[in-house]
Amino acid sequence: MGQLLSYREAVCEAMKMLGQDSRTIFIGQSVGYTGTLVYDTLKDVPMDKRLELPVTEEMQMGISIGLSLMGYIPVSIFPRFDFLLLAVNQLVNHLDRCEEMSHGAYKPKVIIRTVVGATVPLYPGSQHCQDYTEAFRAMLKNTEVVELNDPEDILPTYKEALHSPRSYLLVEKGNLYGVVEKK
């Protein structure tokens, strides 16, 4: 039996795997500078593959779509699911519908990574820990929406997202970052 990875370790392995692909670029807040728990998960991703942005979520999604259309696979990171709401226009009306609107001429592919904020050890307030997975499943028809509840599923799901022609919204759980799975 192999060593069991913690949730955080599994996310780190997934980011390392994505970082080794020449097509990926990591974009968002706390990708170049510390500030959220996602920064530490990028420790094995080269700094020249990271594009730090200010708090401009809609613009971030727009840039991610543009990078995708130029042949990159953006890993667009929204450290809190709550703030992905600010990018809904670009995500739902552009990324998710682009292939349909262009009659198949354009097929952007973005891996969107977000985290339902942790509520322990301190409750951060309701605007930092909401889970909108079901709402996004209802809105998105061409983008896969996957919750990452089990460390064993994290690396395979990120590999699937990398190799699929579709965009993915991958929802991590902040409360699980400090948990070591026991079997």
Tokens 């593959």 -> residue = 49
pLDDT for 180 beyond 50 = no
Quote the pLDDT of residue 123. Answer: 84
pTM as predicted = 0.94
**Contact assessment for residue 177 and residue 118, using Cβ atoms and an 8 Å cutoff:** yes
Judging by beta carbons within 10 Å of its beta carbon (0-12, 13-18, 19+), is residue 17 exposed, middle or buried?
A: middle
pLDDT band at 7 (very low <50, low <70, confident <90, very high): very high
Picking from 2, 3, 4, 15, the residue whose alpha carbon sits closest to that of residue 172 is 15
Quote the pLDDT of residue 126. Answer: 83
pLDDT band at 127 (very low <50, low <70, confident <90, very high): confident
Average confidence score pLDDT of the chain: 93
Q: Quick: pLDDT tens for 9-52.
A: 999 999 999 999 999 999 999 999 998 889 999 999 999 999 99
Q: Quick: pLDDT tens for 131-153.
A: 999 999 999 999 999 999 999 99
Q: How many CB atoms lie within 10 A of CB 163?
A: 9
The residues facing 28 across adjacent strands are 52, 77
Picking from 70, 71, 32, the residue whose alpha carbon sits closest to that of residue 53 is 32
Quote the pLDDT of residue 182. Answer: 45
Q: Which fold has domain 7-176?
A: Rossmann fold (3.40.50)
Picking from 32, 42, 35, the residue whose alpha carbon sits closest to that of residue 8 is 42
Quote the pLDDT of residue 179. Answer: 57
Q: Quick: pLDDT tens for 48-88.
A: 999 999 999 999 999 999 999 999 999 999 999 999 999 99
DSSP state of 123: -
User: What is the full DSSP assignment across 2-59?
Assistant: PPPPPHHHHHHHHHHHHHTSTTEEEEETTSSS-SSHHHHTTTTS-GGGEEE--S-HHH
Quote the pLDDT of residue 2. Answer: 55
